[in-house]
Structure 1
Amino acid sequence: MRSRIIMSMLTGATLAVSVLLGAGPAPAAASSAVTASFATSSAGAASPAASFPARSAAAADTPPAVFGTDWHDPLTAAPPVTRPDTRSCQVTLAEAQFRDFTPYRGMYTPPRGCGDHWSKVVLRLDGKVKGRQFDRLGYLHVGGVEIFRTSTPEPSPDGIEWSVEKDVTRYSDTFRQSRDVEMLIGNVVDDTYTGVIDVKVTLTFYTGTPARTPDRVLTLRDGTLTVPRNSERIVAEVYATGSGGGCEEYWYLTVPDSAPYSCKAADGPYREVQITVDGQLAGIAAPFPTVWTGGWSNPFLWYVIPGPRAFDIKPIEYDLTPFAGILDDGRPHRVEVSVVGVPAGQTGWSTPVNVLVRQDTKSARVTGKLTAPQVGELANSTVFTPGSENRLDTRGGHRLTVAGYVDTSHGRVRTTVVRTLANTSVHRWTDGENMDGLDATWTDDESVTVEGRGAARTTRTQRTYTMDGTTTLGTDDRLRTVLTLGDRAAVVEIHDGRRAAWSRRDDAYTGDATYSANVPRDQRHAVGTTSERYRMYGSDGCYDRRLTTVQGVLTEDRADC
């Protein structure tokens, strides 16, 4: 039974020769969480807005006894992107059908009639696919800047449609002049996998009071970064995804070489995404354990509701401002991203980097110094206990403090970044892997303090990711997966010792699906119940939406608050 389970577990996103192919949940007409603005980019979660549209309860048809040949279009409970009530202009970025690994290439031209400084810029992807197809992973670049990374739903034979929206205002600098566009959703179409992925991507620009955005959006050149000499704040973002159609897609399930399991990694499942400047550790982060729409051996979990972030893959953000005194010398500096725990020589991670810069417009040159790099010891231990039910206990963690200052036209500004990571997991499986389960938690706590320009300001962010699931294959070849996923963040902004703003986000997914394995598609007799509740509340308001599906039919769409 082992080969059959593993082939199913590894059906998903594929990364080959820097070309993305793979997995991904599908968004809906209302989808995609808002990315934090550059002014609070280290927070990792935007504050909820009181103006989020409410959604009324949806009456649904009676679910069939088993999954049919069609189901509800994919959707998520995440809040839609809020839009200002101002004049807007729309530009089509890409319109393409993806059948293979040939990228779409085009040209972006700035909108006419809406100026060049906007109150908001919203990206929207509309997609459709029908037939049979795996989930696929994709990216969108404008002028070499990665503005969007996504994945796709698996279609019904009759066809599905979905959409994703994302606030991309932070990339306004990129949008102010004509740029090359490149988009790819790597795909395979043949006699078996018939689904052609048809997408259209637009940008809508809104007039009004211009948003505060980075002055420059940069990319690396041959692994090096050159920033303007008057750079005052520097933030790197990394769209890190574990994929490759192999074990790094399920990195959280890997075990040491000594344990009898199909996915090996010498150091076990602990992963950490690190960024260095000239070889010096500058930032650490816990990767998000994304589950694509072919994940956990069971596509019936994801046909309507994807796992958190699967359609709108959020970048990891690193505040590199403490290194501004080094980077502002006008010379190129090597910036590298690596993933701790990946076996030597093994591919499977994609880590494109953007760098967002705010400049001191009243100074031609900003100088400064890195003052306090403190690198804690990286902890990573695994304990394997063999038995009729094998068990691997993992504990890992790391702590990094970096501090520095810049001398600007408005005085000396000190920035201190403290980041602490922790991971615990219990992996259980039987010989042959007919039972395979994981209970894991990742925490990523960050504090960014800025002193010297008015009152001291601190942004504290506590991120928590959870995964608790089990897949079993019975003697009757009925495969069942029960899984819960959690994506939570709490953000507090403190000004001069007082709380100025706060927000909490809790995106929770639950699924339970069963089908007959190793039979033709029309004989699977699949059943499944899935649900998602997305809550966001804080000093700016609240949002609360719950979705439930049964056998692919939407039975609940309820909004509270």
Structure 2
Amino acid sequence: MRNQIIMSMLTGATVLVSTLLGAAPARSAAPAQSAAGVDVPAEFGSDWHDPVTAAPPVTRPEHAKACEVTVAEAQFRDFTPYEGTYAPPAGCGKRWSKVVLRLDGKVKGRQYDRLGHLHIGGVEVFRTSTPQPSPDGIAWSVEKDVTRYSDTLRAAQPVEMLIGNVVDDTYTGVLDVKVTLTFYVGRPTAKAAATVPDRVLTLQDGNTLIAPRNSERVVAEVYATGSGGGCEEYWYLTVPETAPYSCKAHGGPYREVQIEVDGQLAGIAAPFPTVWTGGWSNPFLWYVVPGPRAFDIQPIRYDLTPFTGLLNDGRPHRVEVSVVGVPEGQSGWSTPVNVLVWQDEKSAHVTGALTEVRAGDLANSSTYTPGTEHRLDTEGSHRLTVTGHVDTSHGRVTTTVGRSLANTSVHTWSDGENPDALDARWSDDETVTVDGRGPARTTRTQRLYTMDGTTTLGAGDRLRTVLTLGDRATVTETYGGRRTAWSRLDDTYTGDATYTAFVPRDQRHAVGTTRERYRLYGTGGCYDRSLVSVQGVLTEDRRAC
């Protein structure tokens, strides 16, 4: 049907999904001027500001010797990976206070949003998606602190990078990408050093882990992304088979990423609802300001330390990741795993035991209500507590990890999926308590993700999308019950964009305003940056701290 909008997919395939609500905002009759004095065109042209995010840059050590190494340099025009060899930097030793990855990319013409990854020695050190280009061309960059992968980076390693795409007469954009690593010589602070593992492992044969026998802390990283040219790219909009909607899933939109050790549930997490740069039927929302995490996809972290005593027996153990809500064997999710290990250097073998695994019932219900306005109400929740101890050279250490997930969403749509709206929130609360010599140390992390959006196809095939996304987290550290550190993150994106659908690009007469404000403050200081773009022009870049 003409009023079902085709959303762009990372693989270049398309899927019929929703169009969502509201009257289109009026088009400007003539160029306007922003409060900052920047000329704003009446509508999007053939070029716009390079993509920019409000997220803070990676801090770098001052007055430290630095060495830069090029890890990958390629022009991606198909689904052939770049393959090369990484060598540690000459002249900067093997101990670094910080390692910073930087991707610089450029592309012009027409291209979909694409998902990419970088592996060094089999370890996934970076996962990203790409912006969509202007006809005249754009450039963008991404930075990431990769100090925690220092163990991998101390030796020569094979490199594999892929940003799969299609280049033909229609999709002409070739992704020209360069990735570098900058190494800073010196000793990290004691707190920073504690975050850098002794070993970084990958799973053998996809699901087998053999841990060092003197491990005392184990954390798994899972770069979980729903993508791949099907409805799992928009998993939060899926409905049960009984509801009349174009994107269906076995049990509705509830998703939960689980990790198991030898068949035993070891960790649960809510996936972040990433919106790629073609998402919600409207690329004009994302041309300048992408959604949170779109360019730097963060892994889910699971503290598996309670299982360390079991893992230290020198035998292979099965570690498997699955996604609740996706039928077994169905494609649509990628879940590569890294395993970070901290070792007891004074022990050859650290013994211990898993003492408790207490999982609550998984609640997952979606209720469909038919009518002139179709409605799907979804509620999901789950709890897990795991406790274990290890007997180290510095005494017995007991670790308890508790995690609590909750998801509520209201999805409404009319016949023809026009309008189509979603109001959803996901909470993921985690508490890790480490009790050994001295008072217990507790870290509590409260995550909240929100999505509130509507798309509508109005008169003259004018498609309008209005969307707000939120990425929030509060972290509190206590020692013996007294707070020692805290931080609070609030990354909020809002967008409102309209264009004429079903016509060539130069006839879309698109208008749009996007905003992002990223605030991070606590005992470590304050960061506050706001961006505003109108018709592709960056009209505000303000810092408040």
- Residues 339-388 of structure 1 show CA distances to partners (whole Å, capped at 9, x for unaligned) of 00013432100000000000000000001000010010000111111111
State the AA in 1 paired with 2:93.
Answer: G
Partner of 1:487: 471
Partner of 2:18: none
Partner of 2:199: 216
Partner of 1:191: 169
1:76 aligns with 2:76: no
Deviation of 1:113 after TM superposition, in Å, equals: 1.1
What CA distance in whole angstroms lies between the structure 2 residues aligned with 1:110 and 1:293? 34
- Residues 423-473 of structure 1 show CA distances to partners (whole Å, capped at 9, x for unaligned) of 000000011112111000000000000001332100000000000000101
Residue number among 200, 211, 218 corresponding to 1:227 in the alignment: 211
What CA distance in whole angstroms lies between the structure 1 residues aligned with 2:382 and 2:273? 18
**So what's the TM-score if we normalise by structure 2?**
0.94
Paired-residue identity, %: 78
Partner of 2:221: 237
Deviation of 1:475 after TM superposition, in Å, equals: 3.5
> Secondary structure of the residue that 1:326 maps to in structure 2?
helix
> Secondary structure of the residue that 2:150 maps to in structure 1?
helix
Deviation of 1:3 after TM superposition, in Å, equals: 6.8
Note closer, same or farther for the CA distance 1:233–1:159 as it changes in structure 2 (3 Å cut): same
**So what's the TM-score if we normalise by structure 1?**
0.91
Residue number among 123, 128, 147 corresponding to 2:101 in the alignment: 123
Partner of 2:482: 498
Deviation of 1:58 after TM superposition, in Å, equals: 9.9
Partner of 2:112: 134
Partner of 2:135: 157
Note closer, same or farther for the CA distance 1:90–1:229 as it changes in structure 2 (3 Å cut): same
What CA distance in whole angstroms lies between the structure 2 residues aligned with 1:12 and 1:420? 32
- Residues 383-441 of structure 1 show CA distances to partners (whole Å, capped at 9, x for unaligned) of 11111110000000100000000000011000000000000000000111121110000
> Secondary structure of the residue that 1:68 maps to in structure 2?
coil
Partner of 2:263: 279
Partner of 1:519: 503
- Residues 177-234 of structure 1 show CA distances to partners (whole Å, capped at 9, x for unaligned) of 0000000000100000000000000000001214511000000001100000000000
What CA distance in whole angstroms lies between the structure 2 residues aligned with 1:370 and 1:201? 41
Alignment of 1:337-486 (within 5 A): 337-486=321-470
What CA distance in whole angstroms lies between the structure 1 residues aligned with 2:422 and 2:2? 17
- Residues 463-500 of structure 1 show CA distances to partners (whole Å, capped at 9, x for unaligned) of 00000000101142100000000000000000111000
What CA distance in whole angstroms lies between the structure 1 residues aligned with 2:430 and 2:392? 25
Deviation of 1:244 after TM superposition, in Å, equals: 1.3
State the AA in 1 paired with 2:9.
Answer: G
Count of residue pairs the alignment pairs up: 518
Residue number among 227, 241, 246 corresponding to 1:257 in the alignment: 241
What CA distance in whole angstroms lies between the structure 2 residues aligned with 1:424 and 1:195? 39
Structure 1 gap segments, 5+ residues each: 17-56
What CA distance in whole angstroms lies between the structure 1 residues aligned with 2:498 and 2:12? 28
Alignment of 1:505-544 (within 5 A): 505-544=489-528
Structure 2 gap segments, 5+ residues each: 14-33
What CA distance in whole angstroms lies between the structure 2 residues aligned with 1:257 and 1:325? 44
Residue number among 172, 179, 185 corresponding to 2:157 in the alignment: 179
What CA distance in whole angstroms lies between the structure 2 residues aligned with 1:130 and 1:520? 17
Residue number among 9, 27, 31 corresponding to 1:12 in the alignment: 9
> Secondary structure of the residue that 1:405 maps to in structure 2?
strand
Partner of 1:102: 80
> Secondary structure of the residue that 2:232 maps to in structure 1?
helix
Residue number among 44, 49, 59 corresponding to 1:67 in the alignment: 44
What CA distance in whole angstroms lies between the structure 1 residues aligned with 2:242 and 2:327? 14
Partner of 2:65: 87
Contact map agreement 2:219 2:304 (CA 8 A) in 1: yes
What CA distance in whole angstroms lies between the structure 2 residues aligned with 1:291 and 1:499? 35
Partner of 2:16: none
